[in-house]
Structure formats: C-alpha cells, structure tokens
Structure 1
Amino acid sequence: MKIVIADDSMLIRDGLARLLAEAGCEVMATADNTTTLMRKLESTVPDAVIVDIKMPPTYTDEGLVAARHIRSMAPSMGVLVLSQYLEAHYAMRLLSDAPEHLGYLLKERVSDVALLVDALRRVVEGECVIDPTIVTTLMRRPRDPGPLAGLTGRELEVLALMAEGRSNAAIAGKLSMSPKTLEAHVRQILQKLNLHQSPNDHRRVLAVLTYLQAAL
C-alpha cells in the first residue's frame, strides 16, 4: 500500500513511517500540518492517508476537516484518523457523512503494526474501522431506551462487534456460533432497526452508526 502520513509530532511521523516501511508499505510523503498535507496530495495519489485529529494551528479538529476534504476530493481514498484521546463524538462526526473508506483509531494502537496495517487495508477496501476501545467504552455507558431497545443481549453483542468493523466470519468465531446463525442475527438486527434494503446505503454501517449514536 502507498501511504501519506500527517502528524505534527516528528516522533509519530517518523515512527509510523518506519513501522509501515518494515511492514512492506510505501510511505510516499509526510506532513506536519494539514495545509502541507493537502498540497502534497495534489501531486501524490496514495492508497490511504493517516492524519492526526488535532494539528496546527488551533489543535482542535484540523484532521477531521482535512479528512472530509480528502473524501470530497477522492471518495475512494482510504483515510485513517488518529486521536490521542478517546473522543467518541469526533468519531461520529467523521463517520456520519459517508463512513466508507474511513477509520478512527487511538494513537496507542499504532505501536501494533499488524493492527495498523490491517486497519489501513480495510479502509482502502472500503470498510469502516472504529477503534475497539471506543466501542467497548460506549457499550458500558447506561443508555436510554431508543432504537436499540428491541434488540436482545446477543444481538447487541453482534452489533458491538460489527461496530468494531469485524467481518461476519470474525464475529461468528468470536461468539462461537455458526456463520448461518450469525447471518440470522444480522438480519434480525437490520430488521429491528428498520434498515431496509437500499441500493445507496450500507445497512451494516447505518446499524453501527445507530448503535454509536445511542450511546453518546
């Protein structure tokens, strides 16, 4: 994979570049702010961009703004946003528009190069990747009755694993159930959330967004 990295910390940029190069990725460019990032993307076409969520000059949401700009410029380019802190509302802002080819990971994950490369591969392929820590934290919060009230405990477990971006095969293995049983649970979840078949919407992603929104 061809990667561009944007982070204001030289240690993070260099560390990511080294880890990804050792894993067989090609780091095409790096940037320490989003202005430089967007300028480099004018002449560089990577498979994915890694961008810090808080960058100069205000250190607020520059990474989110850049991610949205990249999506409008190149919808099929993978974008993986990194955050120092667990801020679920940022993840929701990022994913609510068009969650395909997008990911949100905590920076503490980047030392696990296998997880990082897997997340990059998945966003390049069009998946939505959310840090499991965010999903676990949201699961533990008390929630008001809402669109998820009709789901069984098992269905909530399945939906939580879907929110982590896991495939059906991975979820079935994690929960020790057959693929056929898992598919039945997924159908029930989508049906209970009134997510009917649509040529324009990815129902699994919409189900995940419903789950996360209910926990905020």
Structure 2
Amino acid sequence: MMYNLLDLCSKAKSIGYLGSYTREDYVEGISDINVFAISEEKSLVLELGSYGLSPVVISEDLFRNLCSKGDPICYYILYDSKVICGELPKVDFLITDYTCQRLEKSAKSYLKLSYEAYYRQDEIGALVNAVRALRSLIQFKACKNKKERIPISDSELENVCKELNLNYCDSLSDLLHLKKHKLPITLFSINKIYDIINSEIGLEFPKGGMHE
C-alpha cells in the first residue's frame, strides 16, 4: 500500500496516513484506513480512493486557513498522522471556540450516521459511527474545559473521561470493547448514546433517528 502512495508523492506537498491506522487502537475490518494529501491536485481524491482508502485532499492555503480557525481536521493532520512523503506546512494550532463548535456538530452528525447504518443493516457503520459520536462528545467536553490537547486515541479518551469525571465512561468502555472484538451494536446501545449526547448538548432529532 505504501508503495502505491509513494507513486503519488510528486503530486503533493505531503501525503500520509491519518487516524487510527497510525495508532495501537486500529482494528482491521472495522477501522477505516484514512489518508491525507496537501495538494492542489484534486484528482488525488479519485486516485487515493481507488486504493480503497478514505482520502482528505486539501490545498496548502486551505490547510493554513483551517489551522488558523482551529478546525479539528488541522489538529488531526498535525497530531494524528504519519507522513510518508514530503512535509507538513509549518503552522500553529490553537484550540478556539470554533474547535468546540465543530466537535459538538460532529457528535450529532456521527450519531445520525450510526442510526442510518443500523437501519440499513450495516453493523460496522453503526458501531464505528456510535464510537465516533461519543468520542466527539468527550472531545467537545475537553475543549470546553480548556484542555490543551484534544484526546484522540482510545486510551486518551478514557483518561480524559475520568479526569473530567464524566458519568458515561463505562459506556465509552463498552463501545470500545465492541469495537476491539468486532461485536455488533444494538439499537438499545445507540439509544443510550443518544441519551448521553442529548443530555449534554441537546439533539434536534428524535431518539431512534428519523427511521419510520
């Protein structure tokens, strides 16, 4: 796989792996293999996608803009990636109100995606997006509590959950157990995540998603 990516290096300032594939909590068959490219070549989206990867392709100017606003995608590229060719632009990242807003929005969006996946019998999608929803909520809480870092890995999430004395750390552990052992998530469990997120930030859609 890396050799294929190296063939594309001439088209980008930087290419690398992004997300859990670079960490110890990657679960084959469950976790996506995400890649990023800092490039003006939009064709890289199709080329990287053709390898079965989930690509993020952004220009250097857009990357700098995202970093200056405090967009989480900048944070992930800086601190949750493995560069395989080129180098990242020299930028500073500061956690801002915008960072918190994006994380709050992500928690809601991922929960919707979890429901949608469940109803179309996509067990992996339902589980992965439920994990992402609760992860985003904990990241949001860390952001609002002026933490200097956004927790990313499973172990960081569990530690921050305990540090903030959140009352849903057991639910996080249960979800991570399902992911690690590739077990299906139930509608009851997704609804439990709904209750947690709704109690913290409020949700604009009913429990159970929009399924009829």
| Fold-level similarity (TM above 0.5) | no
TM-score for the superposition, normalised by structure 2:
0.33
Q: RCO greater where, 1 or 2, for CA within 8 Å and sep 6 or more?
A: 2
